[in-house]
Amino acid sequence: MTAITQERIQAALRGLGRFALLGREAFASLITFKLAWRDCLYQMYFIGVKSQSVISITGAFTGMVMAAQTYFQFHQVKMDTATLAVVGVSMCSELGPVLTGLMIAGRVGAAIAAEIGTMRVTEQIDALRTLATHPVDYLVAPRLLAAHVVVPLLTVESIAVGIAAGYVVGVYLLGIDPAYSWYNMLKYTDTDDLIMGLVKSFIYGGIVAIIGCYKGMNCREGAEGVGQATTEAVVYSSITILIANFFLTLTLGRLLELI
């Protein structure tokens, strides 16, 4: 093993350690209610209200594409009325939470990393410490709590818009019977699918917030460091969401079967 490889491994392990410590401090801040509530409300507005247009458009066109593609396949075996059921199940358990998480990672994760990274470069975080204000309580905890609360709500919006858009495409453009289509969607879309989607979105919100905060608080000096931290926040959040989705699907699927 070369010296360069050893340095990279050591740097990666140090980074994991810093990330774990940041997560522990943020969790401790949440359970002791030391966070700044005014900033938390603003972050809910920033993450939730300002992301609605992106989430709605993503959910709508995802539902439309799912309805069209499912219809083209099901029409060959005369199962047209099951099209909306596939859209409902896929939007509730997989596409809704995953695409919402990815959109939030691209919009909010980048903004969090850039904002906190700029504060680090301009030594505003050091100024907070001199004023006896813990940076985790003031910067990390409000964003983490806001993401945990708002992302599941955005996921519900994405699911509802996606199913409605799929219904419009299926009924008014493809000519599927509306009554049987809606009946099959309600019959085969179970409450467990929605519960799985909400649990996933809750976790994805925390992933985006904590990775964005970590990258911002540990970015290198200068404008290049802030840009690199922003890029890494989006990339790492997206990859983590996709990897976590696989394990969450297996775990939650087993748990819901047992329940």
User: How far is residue 104's CA from residue 58's CA, in Å, rounded to a whole number?
Assistant: 11
Top pLDDT among 132 and 58 is at: 58
pLDDT band at 221 (very low <50, low <70, confident <90, very high): confident
Of 257 and 145, more confident: 145
Residues 43-100 pLDDT 10s:
999 999 999 999 999 999 999 999 999 999 888 888 888 899 999 999 998 999 999 9
Give me the amino acid identity at 201: S
Instruction: Tell me: pLDDT of 222 over 70.
Output: yes
Contacting residues for 107 by C-beta, under 8 A, at least 6 apart: 51, 54
pLDDT at 11: 80
Task: Provide the CB-side half-sphere exposure for 70 (13 A, CA).
Answer: 24
What pLDDT, in 10s, does the model give residues 231-244? Answer: 999 999 999 999 99
Directed axis angle between helix 110-121 and helix 191-217, to 10°?
20
pLDDT tens-digit profile of 13-29?
888 888 888 888 888 88
Rounded Cα distance between 160 and 58, Å, is 12
| Interatomic CA distance for residues 25 and 168, integer angstroms | 47
pTM of the model: 0.90
**Which pLDDT band holds residue 1 (cuts at 50, 70, 90)?**
low
- Rg of the chain over CA atoms, in angstroms? 21
Of residues 95, 105, 122, the one with CA closest to residue 219 = 122
Report which of residues 11 and 251 the model is more confident about.
251
- Residue 145: the pLDDT is 92
More confident residue, 168 or 138: 168
What does the alpha-carbon distance between residue 148 and residue 162 come to, in Å, rounded to a whole number? 22
Q: What is the pLDDT of residues 163-201, one digit of tens each?
A: 999 999 999 998 888 888 899 888 888 888 899 999 999
- Give dist(CA 27, CA 136) in Å, integer: 10
Tokens of 79: 């199962």
Question: Is 213:143 a contact under the CB 8 Å cutoff?
Answer: yes
